[in-house]
Structure 1
Amino acid sequence: MNKQPLTLLASYVAGLLFSLGLAVSGMTDPARVVGFLDVAGNWDPTLMFVLGGAVITTFIGYRFVLKQPAPMLAGRFALPSRRDLDTKLLGGAALFGVGWGLSGYCPGPAIASLGGASIPLLAMLATMVLGWLIARRIA
């Protein structure tokens, strides 16, 4: 049986659920992220609760899913095997954090916000793609 159409459908549904969750939780509003980072001013704890919900859901879900012999639409699980921290990982994480803090967007909410595109959003997406291209060149 060809699983490619089912895999495509499952990917679409997962992306749709993810973007709906971001929209419902208000995470497509960059002011929420900036408000979370403003611990000395008008702090907004919303992001902490959204992240907490995601961590709890993932913690429970992984325990159930990884007891299965294989994923439903793949031959095996594709889990990361590296556990070391290197300069590239730490540098990339720092750059990601700085970009997130400056723009208020991370890639998921930025793409989910494309329906109401603004100049700051498009600038963030353009620089994200540029950073990705530069990283591929120097990797």
Structure 2
Amino acid sequence: MPDEASQTMLQGACHCGAVRLTLPFAPETATSCNCSLCRRTGGIWAFYGLGSVTIEGHPEHTESYVWGDRTLRNLRCRTCGIATHWEPLEGGPGARHGVNLRNFDPRLLESVLVRRFDGAQTWEFLD
């Protein structure tokens, strides 16, 4: 059974706390992407099966932004503007969503391998 400290690390929130996220488990890896959106938000993304992350305050406290190939909805808190997560516009078998680990205790991000992804050009990992 996980201890209280590790459970606390799996709970995160936007800056104002209107959007709260609880991960089902700690990720082993995360992704830092250099696409035009991710490089501006500074998000470090962990991926989970769609619906496996508990997200409180969504959709009532979030607003979405859809761009590019129009397959993802990027979400942020409508009060403080912090990027919280993304989800597919159409969920299907194997659908997943991304969670911005910057909204969690910094120890969680320190505990995972962060891989660099070239979303700007090659769509390949750089490491």
What is the TM-score when the length of structure 1 is the normalising length?
A: 0.29
What is the TM-score when the length of structure 2 is the normalising length?
A: 0.31
- Which structure shows the higher strand fraction? 2
